Structures are given as structure tokens and as C-alpha cells.
Structure 1
Amino acid sequence: MKYKELIQKMTLEEKASLMSGKDFWQSENIDRLGIPSMFLADGPHGIRKQAAAADHLGLNESIPATCYPTAATVANSWNEELVEKMGQYLGKEAVAQKVNVLLGPGINMKRNPLCGRNFEYYSEDPYLAGKMAAGLIRGIQSNGVSACVKHFAVNNQEERRMVIDTIVDERTLREIYLTAFEIAIKEGKTKTVMSSYNMLNGTHTNENMHLMREILRDEWGFDGVVVTDWGGNNDRVQGLLAGNELEMPTTNGETDREIIEAIKNGEIAEEVLDECVDRLLELIFTTEEVFGKPHHDFDETDHHQMAQNVAEESIVLLKNEENVLPLKKDKKVAVIGDFAEEARYQGAGSSIVNPTKLSHTVDCLDDSGIKIIGYEPGFERYGKKNKKKIEKACELARQADVVLLYIGLDEVTEAEGLDRQNMQIPANQVDLLNELYEVNPNIVAVLSCGSAVEMPWIDKVKGLVHGYLSGQAGAKAILNVITGKVNPSGKLAETYPLHYEDTPSYHYFPGKEVSVEYREGPYIGYRYYDTADVPVLFPFGYGLSYTTFSYSNLCVNQDGVTFNITNTGKLAGMEVAQLYVRCTSKSIFRPNKELKGFKKVFLNPGETKTVTISFDDKTFRYFNIKTNQWEIEMGQYEMLIGASSSDIRLKDTINIQGTEAPLPYSNEQLPSYYSGKVNSVSKKEFEQLLGRKVPESKWDRSKPLGYNDTIAQCQYAKGGFARFAYHLINFTYWFLRKIGKRSTANLIMMSVYHMPFRGVARMTGGIINMPMLDGILMIVNGHFFKGVNHFLKERKKMIKQSKIEIGQSEVIKEM
């Protein structure tokens, strides 16, 4: 241990105190030993350091910081160097605001388009997500502070996220849901990992020895700190045994006492605690060093420009019929859509950034060079029908040569803690589009949202620019693409299906009660659509440019592939070349092809460049459940070079020597997985894949409610008071939505409805402890007076204990 001498000077109580927070955002300090607090702040795409009272949901405003494009946006750049540079800028701001640990990036897979937090995640592909994350981490940590990759692992739905049990087979877990984390940890060398809320195959992730010890520590060699998601601790002693050092936020010493008691009774060895303390001290001291060095406040203008640069390279041109874009300077343009006046530029929840400055389209029009004839909002932002606004917009559109229509999803539709209800944009926006089309078919739609949407209306637009959630400088970036000042080079990091029903997890998302079953196995995103031959609206890796590119001269050897790309158009531009690999053997089921490399290149008109994409340890591997390790199947592999997953320009084959492992599966037992048609897998076949019985997915309504049951389950409670509270919450949610307070209504769902009872203790900073929670559960389970009495008695005991500990703390300070 690096800090053995320092640890020997600590009391058991001091060591235990370091294992949980001092308050909502800070770790504990020990002044007498010179151990400072760390500050941990949300920050996947900007620093959210709250100046006032802290909360996890973004209610209280944070110190101004640059709001960069979200991960869903940045992934469309396919540019590791750009993401790393963005990370450097984020790290500078973290240093300026004295933030030790920046809680990002988030790299959970986009298993389903409706996951409410998809805007915070990179991709449906683990290789792309891992590479993007590694770049961001390197950039952040180059400043001396720590990134924190999250949420480890298989956290792919927001509904019931704190208690849902994810049921997934080992191969799918390794190949799809852990590979991005593996790349982020091995290549990005992140100092901190955040464990997720959910359970994995029956065990909470931060207590899961297989995940936390066998894979993260032993296999990947991670020697940094694991921090819980806020309120994500279930059993503190089991979490510590699994190597989860830091619990956040504070529990006011309650879980510290659990650790002390477990050591005293022999449940856990003190050496385990010492190891955790040692890793935590390393994080504290290495990140604190940078604050002792001279540094300057960041240049807001320079960082705003960086946010614009990232947005410009991440915008995706999806449609350009009749070369309607870039806009011609002599065209009269009508700007329509509420999002043009008030930009939709980031998601909602814990990642909300208070921007240093914010560009809105209507404020940037004068400098754009576009011949604007007027602006109309056209629709109500939050979905309410308004015929007069449509009429005014149509009147303006009649006078224009081209209509710029700004549409998308609003802030309360894409939010942490809630999954979307469907893949549609609001009906009032579609109504507007239909009416505009009748008076002026020359429509260019500008789409703003952080996840995939259905587009049954796409035939009614000639141009489609997808800005995703492009940060505080996104409005100007989009205008630069529309006018041709910037040649679009973004490509989709996720597939856009024609209909939500086409998605492979349609029947298995979300888990509503006890568990969620990943019956589709490894077939998510393009892996499914390509293999099952399901048509899509826009394929993975798709994006248009104002120029054209040709591919030629593919050469394949044992080290990688080389080929040429030529800019065959009249404008300079960037192209993302993608390497997909297909195994021709049918002995082991696999997706039709998988992304194994990519390279973004800049080319002037007529210029040719040779591109090299090297193979790595992930190019040919698969996880074998019989040998319980990565193996390579011997055989012939096709090397596919594409401009997207469906636009393959070059191909060649190579023979690869395998590891001669036993075949892990039988075709007869797993027909759906061998065909890739996994949108309706039977329970029996899924159990064959799992190698065990599928656990019961429904609540046992006969049992009393416990710590890991949610407030929503009070509808089945034996206690009338609990049932009344449930109906009151439901009514309040309905009423708030009815009067237009959708944001507040969403908070009820996020912070109350789906909260497990243990969260009441874990998220209140010690105001309510677990013995007091026992009293609440007595009330819920039909013992009202007994529960109230127990609650009040335990509250008195807690107050008395708190006074004793304050007195002891004062004595230690005087020593």
C-alpha cells in the first residue's frame, strides 16, 4: 500500500468515515492528518458545481460553465482527437472551479431508443462508445483531475432504475455491455468508476463480486476508486467487500458505523478497509495537487468557440434532396419553430449545465448571411395545440422560397429518471409540418433531440439537418452548416428504425416490476437490423456531405487494413471510414458484421489519402462461456470498409488462426440467436442462452413491502395510509401535467414514485436513517401506530447519538 504509514495513524472510525461523503458533493476530510475533502461534480458535457444547496436533480442553479454538446451529439463526430481536446477544456474548467472528480463520461449502451438518458450516452456500439470515452477521459485527466466513467454496468433504463434486476447472459454482458468500459479503463486510464443503481443477475452492481472484483479489478487491472451513484448503496458492508470505496452522498455516519461493527464482529477484515482507504487517498492526493499550482480562470470566449467547433463536427446531414443545402444567398427564407427562438441544447436532470453564454438561432440570423423574411414560433413548445400559431407560420411560409423549420423533442421529454413513452416528436409539430407542406414544399427541417425518433413525415422535407443536443454554441454551428460555411461531417452513432416496433428490445423494454430480460442477446442496434434483414430509416454510421468520396485499393494483412479515400467533389470535407468485420463461419452465432475500427480524414477537392486501420485485441475475439474467457474462432473473416454500416465500399478476406476453444452453443437449442431474429425469443430459449432459469419478473403482492420496494408499490400496501399516499402522488402527477407543470410532474416520478424505500434514507443525508425507515415500513404494511412510535423512538436515539459523536469529534480535534 502506498499510504501505509498514514493509514496506521488513523483510528478505525476515521478510516470508516472516509468511505462515505461529508455532504452531498464532498468526500470526508481528516484535518489532523492533512487529508482534504474532494469535490465531485456532475460533468459529462459541462461542470455542474452547485453554488447553493445541493441536489441531484438539477433544481438549484450551478456556477456558470461551458455547456458542450452532449455525448449523443459528440459521438456523431467519430473523432477521438476532437473528443480528447474537448476533455482538455472540460478539465481546465474543473481545475478553475476546484472540482477533483468530474462525473462523466456516461457510456451505457443505447439498448433501446426510449431510454430517457440516451442523450448522455454515446452509442449503440461498444467499440465506438469506448473509444470516444477513452479520448474524453485522457483529455480531462491531462489537467490532473479525475474523470469518472459511469454507470457500471447494464444501466439501460430509467424506470425503476434503482432496483431493477437486469437479466443478461455472460457473453452478451462481456461483448456488448462491458466492452466500452474495458476500453475506457484500459485506454483512457480513468481514475474513478461509478457503479450503477441497478442489480445485475440478482445482485446489486456495487456488491457484485463477479463484476467488481473478478472483471474490474482482477481482469482489467483497475486500481482506482469506485464510487456509488448517488443514493445507490444497498448493503454497505457487501459493497466494501466488492471494492466499492466511496458511498455518496453522506449518510451522516450511519453506514460508517455499519463498517465499524462488521470489522469488530469479524464479518470483514480490517485489511479490506485499509486497501479501500489507500485507493481513496491516492485519488484525493493526486487530484488535490493541481489546486496548489498556479492556474488561471478559463477563457469563456475560447471555450465557447470550442463548444461550437465540437458541434460543427457532430452535426449530421440526413437528407439533401435537390441540393437544397447549402442555402443559396438569393433565397428568401422563413424561420419557423419555437426551438429557433429558444434553443434546445441539452438534456434534463443531473447533467444540466448553467451555460456561460447561450446562442439562439434568431439572435444569430443577422450574421448568418441568410436572407430572412421573418420568424414565427409555429407551435407551443410542450405539445399544446395552437391553430393560430400554425396559421401565422403558414402565412409567412407562403412568402418564402425556403422554410427553415426547427423541430424536435422538448426538455421534459428527454430527462434523467424517466423513459420516453414513444419515439414520436410531438403531434403539434407534425401538424405544423403538414400544414406548411401544403403552402410551401421547400422545407429544411432542423432537428434537435438527444435520441432516435420516428420520421413518418420525412417525405415532406427536402433537407434534414440533425443537430442533436449541440450545446451552448449549437445554434450558430447549425447555421454554419446550413449556409455552407461548414461542410457537415457527422455520422450517426445509432440506427434510426422506421418504427419503434422494429427494435429488437421492443417486447422486453422497460422492465416494469422486478426485472428486465435482455432476451435479444448481443443483437442491439445495427447488429440486429443487419443480421435479421430489417429495413431502417437511417443506418448506423450514416451521414451526408456537400462533397463526395470514393474508396479504392484495399489491402489486408495480419496487422490491419489500408485503403485510399479520394475527395471527388468540389468542396473540402471530412469523411469517416468505418471498418466492419464479418466471420464467415456459422458455428458460433454472431451479428452479420461488427464495427472494429474507424478513421476520420480531412480531404481537399481532388485529394487522395491512404488510411490505415490497425487490428487490435478486439478485432476477432468473442467470449466463450465454456472456457470463460475471450477466444478467437479459426476461419475466414471478411474485412468490410464502409461509409456506413449499410454502405460498404470495399471488401476482402483474411484467414485467422483460432484458439481452438470448444464450441459454446448448439444451433438446435438457440435457433433465434443463430438466425438473428430475436425480437420474440421464448422464455425457454432465453433460459438456454442464460444457462439457468429466468427469475420471476413480477412482484409478489402477498409479501410486505421492504427496503428495495418502491413508493409505486404502495398501491398494493396493506396500510391504508400508504395506499392513500400512492393515490395522492398519482393525482398530483396528473394535475401538474394538466396545468402545464410537466417539469415538476417529472420530478415526482424521478424522485418519489420510482424511489425504493431505502433511498429515503440514502438520499436524505442522515435526516432519516434505516431504523427510522423501519418505522415507515411498519406504517406502509398496516401497523400505523406501532410504526409512528418506532419512528419517533429511533429519531430520538439518532439525535442523541449525533450529539455524542459531535462531542467525540471535538475531543479528537483537540488532541
Structure 2
Amino acid sequence: MAPSAPTTQADRDREIAVEAALGKLDLDAKARLLAGQDMWTLPELPEIGLKSLVMSDGPIGVRGVRWTADDPSIALPSPTALAATWDPALARRAGRVLAQEARRKGVHVLLAPTVNLHRSPRGGRHFEAYSEDPYLTGEIGTGYVRGVQDGGVGTTVKHFVANDAETDRFTVDNKVAPRPLRELYLAPFEAIVKNAHPWGIMTAYNKVNGTTMTEHRYLVNEVLRGEWGFDGYNVSDWMAARSTKGAIEGGLDVAMPGPRTVYGPALAAAVRAGEVEESTVDEAVRNVLRLAARVGILDGAEPVVGELPETVDGQALAREIARRAFVLVRNEARDGEPVLPLKADRTVALIGTAARDARVLGGGSATVFPERVVAPLDGLTAALPEGALSYCVGADPNSELTAADGGFTLRAVCRAADGSELGTVNAPSGHIQWFGADLPQGVPAAAVHSVELIGTFTPRVSGEHTFGTRGYGRFRLSLDGRELSDTTYTVGPDSDPFDTFFSLPSEAARVELEADRTIEVSLYHEVAHLENSPIEGISFTLAHREPQRDADELIAEAVEAARAADTAVVVVATTELVESEGFDRRDLALPGRQDDLVRAVAAANPNTVVVVNSGSPVELPWRDDVAAVLLSWFPGQEGGAALADVLLGAAEPGGRLPTTWGTLDAAPVTEVTPSDGELPYTEGLFIGYRAWEKSGATPSYPFGHGLGYTDWEYESLEVTPTAATVRVRNTGTRHGREVVQLYVAPAADTAGRPARWLAGFTGVEAAPGESVEVRIELPPRAFEIWDEPAGSWTHVGGTYELQASRSITDTRLTAALTI
């Protein structure tokens, strides 16, 4: 399909430059441009003045082309946190700081945002997506894309489409009927294409209704490009492209990564053999050249953004987003007043491993390496008077080995087969993941026979420390010159290429060590170069686990600390083995003995506040036994400072739930495991709050729920077919922010629709006693359904009830509307 027509003179000038450049390329150059030259880049073509296009993972930071902690990045809160702000303008500001980071790192395209839906709470990667609701997802995603592209950096909205779980993601065939596909899963993509004009889309690994997405001619060429007028480039998810002819004819422009892909020489050969029309290749090349013109790397074309936005303070914005995202779901009165915010003269017992070792982001390709992390212990120590804060572990959920980090000082030495040194770089953690530019300067991956991690380790606790490794090849571990293990791990023919990134480490040795006594560490690794792997690189891990103390003893210590303090703050968390790319969740339980810890602390101190550090829902069986529950998501690098702001009342917790929280037993949609390669979406339109209402089950906390530090009265609601006007008053004693939510409910329904659905929202701020009037637009799509027999959108007239609400279950005002 032809791209949408240029709308400005600058657009037309870029199209002229694109056509001129295309006309100078021969078939081999065109085919080469559509294939990654390495993990993150496309090749430069000097003959047309085209520089190499650089892509980088997001979505909460910009890692750049080097996957290493030695190249730090700003780490914003998780996408679930950003969606919890219910603030597209804040999402736009987040996008601008990420564009700023991208430019600093020489990146032209950010591989984000993820706008797949929270179909089942078991989705292991939901922290990287926004919401269970397509409208909220589209609004936040639109703000994000606009912000990134305000800074002259492209986006790739992903993963197109129905990539809503991780189990068998490379092969699963998701069976989705046309109506839920249109009304739910395609809807955020459509809204973002319409309202933000993204410069890129990433197609997913999975199939939809029998066709893999990298070859889905109907959804890409007819819907995305044809109906919606998308004129950007379409890039595969990494290693998703499987067929030269199928991909190019299915609308896939770029196959990543390189250099071994289904494009490049294979695509040129397919054209010469008459299997593929060169005009089809030309259309893909146009899309890539248009992207290059937009980001300013094609000679003769002015970039879209000439004057950059003002510089953003990334640390300050990370802190602001975190506190705006925290969702206070419970805040009970103690001694006549809510327990939060904490009183200035109170002593606090801070409890939990995650309070000291903060989990600020999710695992997998979303990982970045911030220059600093403010843990809750750091934030509260800085904010409270000396002597007011105590800390203890309470319960450690980390039962598995993780990449060597705290207490380790390491460097990586590359050697050739003859033992000669090729190069050395710092290794800020025990995880080595090198692709191309990640290696020491001038060192080709193919020349590396071995890599040795060398350095020191200073334990912070005495006892039995466990060491291990992850990866393929030979590993030889030595401590203080004494060899402890020598093991080789081989690669099976059907091995998942991402195993070295996401699999569990293997235990290598256990050693008694003394706290604060530094030892020398060496892990020698003979690299396993995998034949025919689409990824050229080196990946392995030195893993470590601290001594495991008796859980009952740790909980007893926490109880004593809680009993001695005015308030107990318990931070509970998931781990990278619970929420990460590459797998789905078995259950929604907090790992380890954390539930036992909360119950014991709450029994000892009625003023117990629980901070839940997870990217997506977990079960909270003790939620009615504690004074307050605050959801912090993965709060980014400034999370501890933001937590202190909110707990002590310097700022209000501003978040509302973007997804329903409940138990797995009660959840109406849970299945993520295919049967015979297929996963049928049998629930149709009913996911998230739509499904909870249909089932009649009561969630722990409903969609849209969230408390602040003030109270609100909804005074009036007036509606027209295109908008609603709501007046609210701050009836409390503090300045506050409210999220006014507008739901549409059909009075009578023959169209098989949910009981109600989100149609609009807006945030308002007001001082004590102040009233504010807001207008919320009603999109036409709120009253339309996808007519499957007709293959088009159909307006459904009739009488509707419009509900001005604080959550899906807390309706404050209603008004009838007939359309």
C-alpha cells in the first residue's frame, strides 16, 4: 500500500530526497539496507549520503548499543507505573527525556513503547506494558510517542499484535476473533498511529490466526498501512523473521538483527530468481529512507525536528513520575487519623530485602544500568532525623543466584587462542553481554577465544556464599588463587537463543567467607561460538548468592524491630525470576516468606505500612490486616527518594490502578499456555475489569482505584454526545490531584458489549475547598463496535448512562445520554 500523502512542504521535500536516494541504489544495496548489519544498526550507504541507523531498547531508559553497566542510563519507572499516573502529558515529558538520552548515546530509534494488553495477570512481561484497558493504553502510548519524537528520535510501537504473554512466544498461534482483535488488541496501535504518527512499528514473534506477524500481509499491509495510513518503517522483533518471500510480501521492512538474516543477499537472490518483485523491495527501502530522513541521517533531507526541546533533568523527572505513580490502595485510621502520611516525630522500622536492594526495573530487554539507585533505605535515611530509622532484612525472597554485583569490583580480559591479550574493559557487574560495539575497542568477537572476569569481592555478611555461572562453553572459577570448579556447558540443537540471557544460573561452588575481608575472584570462560546463530556476540554471567539465614530467625528480628517503633514499613517485592521477559508467571504469590513476614509484623505493630515493589499484580492475603498498602511498581532509579516524599507527606501518592489487582483463583482470564501450538482467546471482549464484572467476582482492588491525602466531592455532571463536563471539589485539608474517570454503560444491550467501559479521563488539581470544572471529550469510538459480517465499524445508537467515577466500582455521578 502507498504511504499516506505528505502534509507539509517539509514532508514533501523529504519525499523528494527519499526518491532521489532510492534511484541511486542497486538491488544489492537495497537488500543490504533492509538487514541489520549487527545487533542494533543498519548499514551506512555513503553513495547516497546515508549514515548508519542506530536502534536501542527501551522503554524506561535508553541502553544504547552497549549492553553494559559501564555505560549508564537514566532509569525511569516501569510502564505500569507511567500508566498509573493516568497522565498523557507526563508520559510525553518522559518521552522527551528518553529522546535526550538517545541523542546523548547516538541512538536514532527507540524500540518502545510496548502497548500490548494485560490479558491475563500471569503475563510475565506486563511490567513493560501499560494497562488492561485499550483506551488508557492508547492515551499513555500517544503521549510517550509524541515526547520521544518531539526530540527528533523515532519510536517503534510494539509488539504488533496480540503479543500478550511469553510462553512459546516464538511459535504460539493466538486465535483472536475479528471483533476483540479490533476493539481490544489493535485499538491502542490504531489510536497511536492516528494521534501520534509514530515513525516505526515492531511486529511480534507470535502468529495471529495462523499467520506469523512478520508475514501478516492483511494486518500490516491492509490494516496498518492501508486503513490507518501508517507511513513509517516496520521492523521485526529480534530473530522473528523466518522467510524472505513471506516477510517482504507481508510488509516487513527490516529484519533484525544481523548480519545473518532472511534479507540482505537472500533477498537480492529472491528478486533475481523471480520470487519477489523488486518494486516490493523498493517500497520497504522507501520506508527506511523516510525514517532516516526524519531523524536527520540522510543527506539532502531536513530532519523533522530542527529545534530541540529544552533539556530535562532526568533524575528529577524520574522522582516525579515515581511519586505520581504510587497507588495508595489502603489507608486506615489509627488513633483517629489515617496512618499515612507519617507524622514527623514518629520512629520507623524499615523492613525487607527490597528496602535495601531496591528492584527498580524489570528483567529482560527492558534492562538498563542507571548511574545511581536510591533505595527506600537511602531515601528514608536522608529524610528522617538521625536515630528515627532502623532497618532489618525480615525475609529474603532471593533464593536463586543473581549476577555478581554488590561488593564485586571486576574487569573483563579478552584473549586469543594462544593466550595473548586482545583487550580489557571494566565489568561493573558479573553479567557480560557483548554485541559488536560492546567488546573492547578493536576486538572482533570471532577472534575471542576466552574472556576472564578478574577482580575482588568484599562480602557484606559472613557465612556460606554460593557462586555460579550462566551461559554456554567452559567455565573455571577460582577464589584467592584456588580453583573451585571447571565445567563445560554445551548447546543443544533446539536451544532457545535467549537462554544465556534469561535462564537460571548453575551453581558452581559454596565457600565460607568473612564479612569485610576482600578476596580475589577469577572466572575463566572459553567462549562457545554458535554456528549459524543469528546473533554474533558473547554472553555469560558470574552469579552469586549471599548466605541464607534461617527465615524464622529473620522474621523474629523484624517483629522485635516493629514492636520497638511507632510505625513499621515493610517493603515486599517480586524478583527477576518472577517478572521478566522470556517466561510467564506460575502464580501471583510473593516469593519466599514475605507473606509470613507481613502477618508477623502487623500482629506486632498496628501501624504497619506495606510497600509493594512489583511491576504487575501480586496477591496480598494480609491486605485487610495492615494499616496501609502502597503500590510502588518498579519505581526507577529515584524510587527511594520518591517513597520518602510520599510516606512523609511532602507529596501525595498520585496513582490510580491501570490494571485490576486480584487473586489468581478469582481472576476470570488466566490461560497463557498454548495447546498444540494454539492459544484461543475464548474470552472475546472480556478481559480485565470487563471480565471481572461479567464473572461477578470481587477483585482485591478495582481498575482505576487509588487514594490520596485529601477528599473529593463530585458536584455536577453535564453530558452531550461529544463531551462531558464534571465539577469536583476538594473537601479535604490538603492540596491534591484527582483523576476523574468517565465510563459508558449501555442502558440495554444486544451487541454483546461489556457492562461498561472507560471512555475518557482527566486529572485535576485543587486547593482545599476549591472546586474545578473539567471537560472530557467523548471519542466516537466509545459508541461503536466492530461489525464482523460487514468488516467495518458500526455506530450503536440508543440510551447510555455516563458515569463520572473514581474507579470502575466507585461511581459518583450519572447522566443519561441518547444518541
| TM-score above 0.5, yes or no | yes
Correspondence for 1:310: 321
The 1:291–1:615 alpha-carbon spacing in structure 2 relative to 1, beyond 3 Å, is closer
Residue 635 of structure 1 pairs with residue 643 of structure 2: no
1:258 match: secondary structure: helix
Correspondence for 1:736: none
Correspondence for 1:559: 722
Correspondence for 2:622: 457
Residue 595 of structure 1 pairs with residue 758 of structure 2: yes
1:619 match: secondary structure: helix
Correspondence for 1:607: 770
Residue 504 of structure 1 pairs with residue 668 of structure 2: yes
CA distance in 2, matches of 1:447, 1:272: 51
Correspondence for 1:351: 366
Correspondence for 2:353: 338
Correspondence for 2:61: 46
CA distance in 1, matches of 2:636, 2:303: 28
- Residues 54-203 of structure 1 aligned to structure 2 (within 5 Å): 60-61=68-69, 63-203=71-211
Correspondence for 2:394: 378
RMSD value, Cα: 2.0
Offset of residue 479 of structure 1 = 1.3
Offset of residue 292 of structure 1 = 13
Residue 270 of structure 1 pairs with residue 285 of structure 2: no
The 1:365–1:299 alpha-carbon spacing in structure 2 relative to 1, beyond 3 Å, is farther
Offset of residue 369 of structure 1 = 3.1
The one-character-per-residue Cα deviations of 1:433-485 (angstroms, maximum 9, x if unpaired) are 22223322321001100011111111221111111111000111111111111
| Among candidates 445, 448, 461, match of residue 610 of structure 2 | 445
Correspondence for 2:412: none
Offset of residue 339 of structure 1 = 0.9
| Among candidates 416, 423, 440, match of residue 581 of structure 2 | 416
Q: Is the 8 A contact 1:212 1:242 kept in 2?
A: yes
1:187 match: secondary structure: helix
CA distance in 1, matches of 2:262, 2:645: 55
**Residue identity opposite 1:186 in structure 2:** K
Offset of residue 582 of structure 1 = 1.1
Q: Is the 8 A contact 2:378 2:640 kept in 1?
A: no
Offset of residue 253 of structure 1 = 6.2
Correspondence for 2:648: 483
The 1:617–1:268 alpha-carbon spacing in structure 2 relative to 1, beyond 3 Å, is farther
CA distance in 1, matches of 2:689, 2:349: 37
CA distance in 1, matches of 2:357, 2:675: 35
1:496 match: secondary structure: coil
Q: Is the 8 A contact 1:561 1:613 kept in 2?
A: yes
Q: Is the 8 A contact 1:365 1:372 kept in 2?
A: no
The one-character-per-residue Cα deviations of 1:332-381 (angstroms, maximum 9, x if unpaired) are 21111111111111000101111122111222223323662411011123
**Residue identity opposite 2:623 in structure 1:** I
The 1:294–1:525 alpha-carbon spacing in structure 2 relative to 1, beyond 3 Å, is closer
Tell me the TM-score normalised to structure 1 length. Answer: 0.77
Residue 394 of structure 1 pairs with residue 559 of structure 2: yes
The one-character-per-residue Cα deviations of 1:295-337 (angstroms, maximum 9, x if unpaired) are 999979x210110011111110011011011111222211111
2:263 match: secondary structure: helix
**Residue identity opposite 1:605 in structure 2:** P
- Residues 206-225 of structure 1 aligned to structure 2 (within 5 Å): 206-225=214-233
CA distance in 2, matches of 1:33, 1:386: 65
CA distance in 1, matches of 2:64, 2:787: 44
**Residue identity opposite 2:74 in structure 1:** T
| Among candidates 313, 330, 339, match of residue 319 of structure 1 | 330
Q: Which segment drifts farther, 525-534 or 77-86?
A: 525-534
Residue 282 of structure 1 pairs with residue 290 of structure 2: yes
The 1:293–1:274 alpha-carbon spacing in structure 2 relative to 1, beyond 3 Å, is closer
**Residue identity opposite 1:531 in structure 2:** K
Q: Is the 8 A contact 1:226 1:246 kept in 2?
A: yes
2:813 match: secondary structure: strand
Q: Is the 8 A contact 1:448 1:467 kept in 2?
A: yes
Offset of residue 512 of structure 1 = 5.0
**Residue identity opposite 2:635 in structure 1:** S
The one-character-per-residue Cα deviations of 1:98-139 (angstroms, maximum 9, x if unpaired) are 100001110100001111100000000000000000000000
The one-character-per-residue Cα deviations of 1:132-163 (angstroms, maximum 9, x if unpaired) are 00000000001111011100000011111011
**Residue identity opposite 1:626 in structure 2:** P
1:480 match: secondary structure: helix
The 1:623–1:11 alpha-carbon spacing in structure 2 relative to 1, beyond 3 Å, is same
| Among candidates 521, 527, 538, match of residue 701 of structure 2 | 538
**Residue identity opposite 2:126 in structure 1:** N
Offset of residue 559 of structure 1 = 2.1
CA distance in 2, matches of 1:453, 1:199: 29
| Among candidates 591, 598, 603, match of residue 433 of structure 1 | 598
2:700 match: secondary structure: strand
**Residue identity opposite 1:25 in structure 2:** W
Structure with the higher fraction of residues in helix conformation: 1
Correspondence for 1:580: 743
1:522 match: secondary structure: coil
Give aligned pairs, total: 646
Residue 547 of structure 1 pairs with residue 710 of structure 2: yes
CA distance in 2, matches of 1:160, 1:500: 21
CA distance in 1, matches of 2:114, 2:23: 36
Offset of residue 21 of structure 1 = 0.3
The one-character-per-residue Cα deviations of 1:152-185 (angstroms, maximum 9, x if unpaired) are 0000111110110000100000001010111111
CA distance in 1, matches of 2:83, 2:121: 16
Question: Percent sequence identity over matched residues?
Answer: 34
Q: Is the 8 A contact 1:61 1:354 kept in 2?
A: yes
Correspondence for 2:29: 14
Offset of residue 575 of structure 1 = 0.2
The 1:292–1:611 alpha-carbon spacing in structure 2 relative to 1, beyond 3 Å, is closer
Offset of residue 585 of structure 1 = 2.8
Q: Is the 8 A contact 2:397 2:592 kept in 1?
A: no
CA distance in 2, matches of 1:157, 1:72: 16
**Residue identity opposite 1:69 in structure 2:** P
CA distance in 1, matches of 2:754, 2:71: 46
Q: Is the 8 A contact 1:204 1:234 kept in 2?
A: no
Q: Which segment drifts farther, 264-273 or 64-73?
A: 264-273
**Residue identity opposite 1:66 in structure 2:** I
Offset of residue 279 of structure 1 = 1.1
1:255 match: secondary structure: coil
Structure with the higher fraction of residues in strand conformation: 2
CA distance in 2, matches of 1:449, 1:84: 24
The one-character-per-residue Cα deviations of 1:487-525 (angstroms, maximum 9, x if unpaired) are 12210000012x21222223x322254011100111001
2:763 match: secondary structure: strand
The 1:215–1:294 alpha-carbon spacing in structure 2 relative to 1, beyond 3 Å, is closer
The one-character-per-residue Cα deviations of 1:75-106 (angstroms, maximum 9, x if unpaired) are 00001111111111111111111100001110
The 1:64–1:292 alpha-carbon spacing in structure 2 relative to 1, beyond 3 Å, is farther
